[in-house]
């Protein structure tokens, strides 16, 4: 077990917006069949977290998508402890919609050597972090807005954590 804090980033609507229909401006990259738009201030945030925390990714998208998107965003520059996809999520029926919700149960991360108390997950979907709400740093859902400042708020909150 390590005492370092682990920051886990969700991908869709947290760090990127991926859409099959192109927006009114050019995407940052393409992962077929999606046009992918990086959220403003994503690189500022990642260079900040790389210096202070262990960093990982956990998305409820497919493994192939997660691998391609993380390669584009993090590359060699920002090493990741792991990049998990839907396969590590717990699938539950959402009684409100009768659809499925994919829960990210942070107890699974203990196998990577982190205690749950030292984990912060940055995610736009509270329903996915329902088992450990105290470890959830909620970020507003990003839909491709050019003037979005959600990641600035995330950085400020993480800055407070890094001082603890
Ligand atoms: Mg999301």
- pLDDT tens digits, 107-144: 999 999 999 999 999 999 999 999 999 999 999 999 99
Residue 160 in any domain: the answer is no
132: domain CATH number is 3.40.50.1000
> Which pTM value belongs to this model?
0.95
In a domain, 114, yes or no: yes
What pLDDT score does 133 carry?
95
Between the CA of 125 and the centroid of ligand 1 the distance, in Å, is 6
In a domain, 147, yes or no: no
Domain count, the chain: 1
Cα of 10 to ligand 1 centre, how many Å?
6
pLDDT digits (tens, 9 = 90+) for 5-27: 999 999 999 999 999 999 999 99
Q: What is the DSSP letter of 12?
A: B
Instruction: Look at residue 90 and tell me if it is in a domain.
Output: yes
β 16-19/34-38 pair status: antiparallel
Closest CA to 56 of 17, 84, 90: 84
User: Has residue 150 been placed in a domain?
Assistant: no
Measured in angstroms, how far is the CA atom of residue 49 from the centroid of ligand 1?
A: 19
Say if 23 falls within a structural domain: yes
Using a CB cutoff of 5 Å, list residues around ligand 1, an ion.
10, 12-14, 124-125
Q: Are 58 and 12 in contact (CB under 8 A)?
A: no
């Amino acid at each position: 077990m390590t005492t370092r804090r682990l920051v886990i980033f969700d991908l869709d609507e947290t760090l990127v917006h991926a859409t099959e229909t192109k927006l009114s401006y050019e995407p940052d990259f393409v992962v077929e069949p999606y046009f992918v738009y990086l959220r403003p201030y994503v690189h500022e945030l990642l260079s900040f977290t790389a210096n202070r925390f262990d960093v990982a990714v956990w998305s409820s998208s497919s493994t192939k998508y997660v691998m391609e998107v993380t390669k584009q965003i993090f590359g060699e520059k920002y090493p990741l402890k792991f990049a998990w996809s839907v396969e590590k999520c717990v699938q539950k029926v959402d009684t409100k919609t009768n659809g499925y919700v994919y829960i990210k149960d942070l107890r699974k991360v203990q196998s990577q050597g982190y205690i749950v108390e030292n984990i912060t997950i940055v995610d736009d979907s509270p329903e996915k972090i329902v088992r450990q709400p105290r470890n959830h740093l909620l970020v507003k859902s990003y839909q491709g807005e050019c003037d979005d400042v959600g990641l600035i708020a995330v950085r400020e909150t993480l800055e407070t954590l890094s001082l603890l």
